[in-house]
Structure 1
């Protein structure tokens, strides 16, 4: 078998990421024809067809899918090697790739990240806001911020809890036309917004200050994986939603939302910084982790 050109692994990874030659060529400034030629050379070196391509569609073969997974790990190791060399410099430098849900950006990151980047001019940031469960190892991310109510289960990732966020039930001010409920049982079957996370369901577990508990089932009028959308739906009077208190602080202050059963509370949610390992961590990545671990509690704890 012919020796593989490692540059071709990079070109192949970009073409797959961009789902075609044209977008990949635009992204990295390499002619489309060159990318097509290098993919053919890679296939010849491997003796395998990696992709099906027409003028309109690019898709991976089964062999291509398996090979791409290995390419991602190789590219990640190359990037780690580059960043490890850069980490020897006295000032943090390099690119950090972060992923989190949109709601976390709205609660804190939109205010926290600009001053961090201003204080570290040699650190660059890739931020993916997504409500899907991103595999940070397979997709090459350095840090994920994850909200959860149950302990995170992973043998390969480190989770660093940084904040305990109060979760409240809220609704639009006109949703309860005949007056707000006084006891949990009055909410049974109410229209609600279900945030479809990995640990979610269509019930709310409520606790009172005197130790009483109640479980309330609700009708999921809307299921979505984006907390800001659920908040907008509640403001529109479509139902009740459980949200982190910092996310709806402004709306509760100006009356666009109201607390539902304010004497009861939902178990606090945990926000954790998740990353692959301490091994190979760059100064840039460590600087961002330490900054967020210190700054996030002020925004999210109460």
Structure 2
């Protein structure tokens, strides 16, 4: 009888999915050498070679493919059974890690997070906000939240917000002094508050109307790396900023800012929570998604 453990079989499935010992080890929280040793032990126990290893890649042997095909439904059924017990008991435990942009994490804090923590007091949420787009699997996150256009097509995505748009905004004081641009080209004569992306590149402003598209690297003497700081600079009359509309909504309502070129600013897909479709969904993430769907801007899952 085989001595293979459930942990070894799960580790094998992750190696098979990632095709990389480095990525699988990072996801499991173990060293690459320990994972490699465990897989050799599994192969020895089963008396079958499961993985072809090279210095750059990992692939499945025929025996490995057969084992993977049999394991998937078995472990999936086991995970679902354990999740059902945990959720019926209303005693979800553990940590749910989610990565997203600053605006995405703010959206979660204003909507689903308070309700989730109240309903599942033994769950811990670890929310990490950062500008750079990360590999959520390689960096150990359960899910990410980003604009729909940035989510990879092989992910399962759940809507977090309504569609949104980026707006060019300026203070009334700035517009009185420098004038109001009527078309995007006229931004070339204005002071624009530019944005530095995490990659180091400057963000280009994009405008569309009636099939016409216009992209500009705006002129200006001030560059910032935060939508919040860009908004504050615009409020101080330092120039025209190009920010997601939710950031500017309050200032627009209070008339502290004015939107310019709004008919050139089309809507784009809003925020989506996303996660790999080929992995088991933890009970905590399932519960988070169920609560997320209770909000009016949320929709059902969509493969991207």
- Fold conserved (TM > 0.5)? yes
Which residue in the other structure is 2:173 paired with? 174
Which residue in the other structure is 1:227 paired with? 227
Which residue in the other structure is 1:128 paired with? 128
SS of residue matched to 1:93: coil
C-alpha displacement of 1:256 = 2.5
Aligned length: 228
SS of residue matched to 1:242: strand
Stretches of structure 2 lacking an aligned partner (at least 5 in a row):
1-19, 36-75, 299-304
> CA distance change for structure 1 residues 222 and 115 in 2, over 3 Å: closer, same or farther?
farther
SS of residue matched to 1:109: helix
Contact 1:166 1:244 in 2 (8 A): yes
Contact 2:159 2:297 in 1 (8 A): no
Which whole-Å CA distance do the structure 2 matches of 1:139 and 1:214 have between them? Answer: 36
Which whole-Å CA distance do the structure 2 matches of 1:296 and 1:230 have between them? Answer: 29
Residues 1:194 and 2:195 are matched in the alignment: yes
C-alpha displacement of 1:86 = 5.4
Stretches of structure 1 lacking an aligned partner (at least 5 in a row):
1-65
SS of residue matched to 2:182: coil
C-alpha displacement of 1:114 = 0.9
Which residue in the other structure is 1:9 paired with? none
Which residue in the other structure is 1:74 paired with? 28
C-alpha displacement of 1:73 = 2.4
Which residue in the other structure is 1:164 paired with? 163
C-alpha displacement of 1:248 = 1.4
> CA distance change for structure 1 residues 145 and 252 in 2, over 3 Å: closer, same or farther?
same
Alpha-carbon RMSD: 3.6
Contact 2:99 2:130 in 1 (8 A): yes
Structure with greater strand percent = 1
C-alpha displacement of 1:153 = 3.4
Which residue in the other structure is 2:85 paired with? 88
Spell out the pairing of 1:1-302 with structure 2 (5 A cutoff).
71-75=25-29, 85=82, 88-89=85-86, 90=88, 91=90, 93-94=92-93, 95-147=95-147, 150=149, 152-153=151-152, 155=154, 157-162=155-160, 163-176=162-175, 177-188=177-188, 190=190, 191-194=192-195, 196=197, 202-208=203-209, 212-219=212-219, 221-277=221-277, 279-295=279-295, 297=297
C-alpha displacement of 1:67 = 8.8
SS of residue matched to 2:288: helix
C-alpha displacement of 1:103 = 1.9
> CA distance change for structure 1 residues 108 and 189 in 2, over 3 Å: closer, same or farther?
farther
SS of residue matched to 2:208: strand
> CA distance change for structure 1 residues 231 and 250 in 2, over 3 Å: closer, same or farther?
same
> CA distance change for structure 1 residues 83 and 238 in 2, over 3 Å: closer, same or farther?
farther
Which whole-Å CA distance do the structure 1 matches of 2:79 and 2:125 have between them? Answer: 16
C-alpha displacement of 1:142 = 0.6
> CA distance change for structure 1 residues 86 and 164 in 2, over 3 Å: closer, same or farther?
same
Which whole-Å CA distance do the structure 2 matches of 1:68 and 1:122 have between them? Answer: 32
> CA distance change for structure 1 residues 268 and 189 in 2, over 3 Å: closer, same or farther?
farther
TM-score (norm 1): 0.62
TM-score (norm 2): 0.62
> CA distance change for structure 1 residues 241 and 197 in 2, over 3 Å: closer, same or farther?
farther
Which whole-Å CA distance do the structure 2 matches of 1:278 and 1:241 have between them? Answer: 40
Which whole-Å CA distance do the structure 2 matches of 1:243 and 1:201 have between them? Answer: 14
> CA distance change for structure 1 residues 92 and 165 in 2, over 3 Å: closer, same or farther?
farther
